[in-house]
């Protein structure tokens, strides 16, 4: 039966911190140091009842999920193990754990593309929280306290209404994308075009942006993910030098039929944004 919290964690200090918080709330727990142990525990019998999962993001040496018989699932060289476990193992459509809350813990700064994957899960209704080890212990305690008497998540009770949690995380993605675009010194008209709106001035764009934030929209969510990943791949090529990143965006590329990436980003068409991202993926591998 179990009915507790399962932790995938290989760091001794973090294990102590997590167990201390979980025990303080009187919840049973199971600590697994590797995906193999984690998967084996969840496969025992018909699978134990679980209130929530605590998943370590950084486990060196775990490059795939071969340990739980998913060898083709990569983990970003061990930097996103917990996220891969949640996406490809726990939240498969056939999994009994597909609606169980997850907290992802990391001791490192997350790459923009990893944050984008997490935001996409949130926008699709997944109950997932990403926290920093050590500094976010108070937030981790709130997550555990919420699980003590956990019932059915609000978003599962009424799928026709957007839960505050889902809307908040959707808006976090928009905010992050806006920061990237303003870092590139794009005008309101250019930003509006990137989101599919042509010939929009400052005042009109502010109204449109407010409307975009009121309710999750798949087209907007996809564009946000593209923007964040474009920024991440530019950083992998040019480092933190924003001027070099902007120069590349403004330079005509043979692979884009002599057009600059910036011109495609301002075209209003989502497939053109994807075209720019596709080029960057080829460059960065």
**CATH class as words, domain 2-157:** alpha beta
State pLDDT tens for residues 228-260. Answer: 888 888 988 888 888 999 999 999 999 898 999
Axis-axis angle for helices 164-183, 202-214 (nearest 10): 150
Whole-structure pTM over 0.85, yes or no? no
β-pairing, 70-74 with 29-32?
Answer: unpaired
State pLDDT tens for residues 57-97. Answer: 998 889 899 988 888 888 988 889 999 999 999 988 788 88
Residue ranges covered by each domain of the chain: 2-157, 164-284
Q: What is the pLDDT of residue 250?
A: 93
β-pairing, 64-65 with 102-106?
Answer: unpaired
Longest CA pairwise span in the chain (Å): 63
């Amino acid at each position: 039966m179990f009915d507790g919290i399962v932790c995938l964690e290989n760091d001794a200090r973090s294990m102590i911190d997590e167990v201390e918080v979980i025990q303080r709330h009187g919840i049973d727990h199971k600590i697994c140091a590797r995906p193999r142990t984690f998967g084996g525990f969840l496969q025992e019998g018909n699978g134990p009842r679980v209130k929530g999962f605590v998943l370590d993001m950084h486990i060196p040496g775990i490059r795939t999920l071969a340990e739980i018989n998913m060898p083709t699932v990569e983990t970003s060289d061990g930097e996103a193990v917990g996220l891969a476990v949640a996406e490809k193992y726990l939240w498969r459509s056939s999994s009994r754990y597909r609606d169980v809350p997850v907290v992802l813990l990391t001791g490192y700064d997350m790459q923009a593309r990893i944050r984008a994957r997490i935001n996409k899960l949130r926008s699709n209704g997944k109950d997932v929280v990403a926290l920093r080890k050590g500094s976010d212990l108070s937030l981790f305690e709130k997550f555990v306290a919420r699980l003590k008497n956990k019932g059915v998540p609000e978003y599962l009770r009424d799928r026709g209404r957007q839960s505050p949690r889902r809307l908040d995380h959707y808006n976090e993605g928009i905010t992050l994308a806006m920061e990237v675009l303003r870092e590139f010194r794009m005008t309101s008209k250019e930003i509006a075009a990137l989101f599919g709106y042509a010939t929009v001035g400052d005042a009109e764009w502010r109204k449109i942006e407010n409307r975009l934030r009121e309710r999750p929209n798949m087209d907007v969510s996809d564009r946000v993910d593209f923007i964040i990943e474009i920024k991440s791949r530019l950083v992998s090529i040019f480092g933190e030098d924003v001027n070099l990143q902007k120069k590349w965006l403004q330079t005509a590329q043979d692979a884009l039929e002599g057009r600059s990436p910036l011109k495609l980003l301002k075209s209003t068409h989502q497939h053109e944004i994807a075209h720019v991202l596709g080029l960057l993926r080829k460059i960065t591998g």
